């Protein structure tokens, strides 16, 4: 009997642990491949002097180990300020991605040029000295470009938040609500890298826009209530908005204890909308639905039908839904305006190209028939502390009758 229980426990541990091990194996494989590729382009191909090459090789190996180690460490760090080596690892992750992307562009171009010459019979004779010179020139050129972009991206991510004014016309909006200011923040990712003092700055910036109401469209936290209680405390200031502050879940809430957060936020004066609708102001409704990450659960799965049940279709309605792909159903069911986030606007170009493959809209205001969606680029960041061609934002949606 004891042996059977032991085998059952071992089997259960394997079932629980295997997905994590597979995930970690994929991460290690991807990061290992990226670092080898960068080493080849920045150390091997330029044929650097022996001592310089050894120093850079050690640096690449160290960074290759530091990045996945920090990814694991930061999950245990939530609620505490990240130490310098975590910032270095995440910053390098962004720089490494940009280097790999730009070298890939160069290599694709070089391959196309080689193929074109081969097809036309105009091949250039192999010249080792010329190849080394070209490799060094590319290493310097690409590295300089990337470091410039990375520096700009860090300033964008950590600097003063941009307030984006977005006028929106809604059919059926009462005249007395002309100029209603609904402020959206999204994807704050409060945690080890973004904490109390930064959150205070966000709240101060939001209140400076004189909002009538505030909407938080998910991915508010990366950590549990116990870990982040003090860091989210400044959010209580958002309750000063005359028509209140509202929240819907994003995918990261499901990694951070969604039930506890839905219980805690009302203590800060923030009302979660759990597949439900409220009157935001006389003649204007607000609804919110859960993130698709809750699919498969009874309590936290998204249900637009529940949120819209009993509504007057003549009244304009604003829907909070974390992912832009939730807009298609909203448009079919007559929702006037959907507010989403999730994409970060791509956060680091050209990663935005990948995001665009899985989400119908990357950022900004879009229309489908009579329905509109505004996709926020997000207020914080996740992973590398940088934003390249995707500045963070606080969106002020000023509503006007159509």
Q: How do residues 109-126 score in pLDDT, each as one tens digit? A: 998 988 888 888 777 777
Whether 1 has a pLDDT exceeding 70, the answer reads no
Q: How far is CA 129 from CA 10, 115, 148, 173, in A?
A: 59, 21, 29, 71
Average pLDDT over residues 273-283: 97
Token code pair at residue 285: 């409704």
Helix (H) / strand (E) element for 287: namely: strand 284-288
Question: What average pLDDT is seen over the chain?
Answer: 92
Please give the pLDDT value at position 73.
79
Whether 68 has a pLDDT exceeding 90, the answer reads no
Token code pair at residue 289: 């639905």
Whether 309 has a pLDDT exceeding 90, the answer reads yes
pLDDT tens-digit series, residues 384-399? 999 999 999 999 999 9
**Tally of CB atoms within 10 A around 146:** 22
CA distance 149 to 77: 29
When pLDDT is cut at 50, 70 and 90, the band that residue 15 belongs to is low
Please give the pLDDT value at position 96.
96
Q: Which of 72-81, 237-246, 250-259 has the lowest mean pLDDT?
A: 72-81
Please give the pLDDT value at position 372.
98
When pLDDT is cut at 50, 70 and 90, the band that residue 7 belongs to is low
pLDDT tens-digit series, residues 366-385? 999 999 999 999 999 999 99
Whether 157 has a pLDDT exceeding 90, the answer reads yes
Residue the block writes with tokens 């050209």: 350
The answer to whether 262 and 274 have CB atoms below 8 angstroms apart is yes
pLDDT tens-digit series, residues 326-359? 999 999 999 999 999 999 999 999 999 999 899 9
pLDDT tens-digit series, residues 193-252? 999 999 999 999 999 999 999 999 999 999 999 999 999 999 999 999 999 999 999 999
Beta pairing class for 162-170 and 180-185: unpaired
**To the nearest whole percent, how much of the chain has pLDDT over 70?**
94
Whether 38 has a pLDDT exceeding 90, the answer reads yes
Q: Which carries the bigger pLDDT value, residue 192 or residue 217?
A: 217
Residue the block writes with tokens 């390249």: 388
CA proximity to 253, closest of 375, 353, 341: 341
Please give the pLDDT value at position 181.
98
Whether 2 has a pLDDT exceeding 90, the answer reads no
């Amino acid at each position: 009997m004891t042996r059977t229980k032991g085998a059952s426990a071992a089997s259960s541990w394997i079932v629980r642990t295997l997905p994590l091990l597979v995930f970690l194996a994929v991460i290690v494989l991807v990061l290992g491949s990226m670092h080898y590729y960068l080493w080849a382009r920045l150390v091997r191909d330029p044929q650097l002097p022996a001592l310089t090459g050894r120093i850079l090789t050690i640096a690449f190996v160290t960074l290759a180990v530091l990045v996945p180690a920090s990814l694991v460490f930061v999950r245990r760090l939530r609620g505490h300020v990240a130490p310098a080596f975590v910032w270095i690892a995440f910053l390098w992750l962004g720089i490494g991605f940009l280097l790999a992307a730009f070298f890939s562009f160069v290599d694709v171009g070089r391959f196309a040029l080689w193929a074109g010459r081969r097809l036309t019979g105009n091949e250039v004779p192999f010249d080792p000295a010329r190849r080394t010179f070209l490799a060094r020139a590319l290493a310097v050129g690409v590295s300089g470009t990337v470091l410039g972009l990375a520096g700009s991206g860090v300033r964008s991510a950590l600097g003063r938040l941009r307030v984006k004014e977005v006028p929106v016309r809604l059919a059926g909006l009462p005249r007395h609500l002309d100029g209603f200011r609904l402020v959206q923040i999204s994807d704050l990712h409060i945690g080890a890298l973004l904490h109390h003092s930064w959150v205070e700055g966000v709240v101060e910036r939001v209140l400076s826009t004189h909002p009538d109401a505030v909407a938080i469209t998910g991915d508010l936290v990366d950590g549990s209530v116990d870990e982040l209680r003090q860091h989210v405390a400044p959010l209580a200031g958002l309750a000063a908005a005359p028509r209140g502050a509202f929240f819907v879940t994003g995918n990261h809430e499901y990694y951070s204890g969604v039930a506890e957060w839905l219980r805690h936020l009302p203590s800060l004066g923030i009302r979660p909308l759990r597949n439900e609708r409220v009157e935001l102001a006389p003649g204007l409704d607000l609804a919110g639905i859960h993130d698709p990450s809750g699919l498969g659960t009874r309590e936290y799965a998204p249900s637009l039908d529940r949120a819209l049940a009993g509504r007057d279709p003549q009244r304009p309605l604003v829907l909070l839904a974390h992912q832009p792909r939730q807009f298609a159903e909203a448009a079919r069911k007559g929702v006037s305006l959907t507010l989403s986030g999730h994409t970060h606007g791509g956060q680091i170009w050209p990663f935005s190209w990948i995001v665009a493959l899985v989400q119908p809209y990357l950022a900004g205001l879009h229309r489908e028939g009579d329905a509109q969606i505004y996709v926020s680029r997000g207020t914080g960041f996740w992973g590398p502390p940088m934003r390249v061609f995707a500045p963070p934002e606080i969106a002020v949606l000023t509503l006007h009758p159509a």
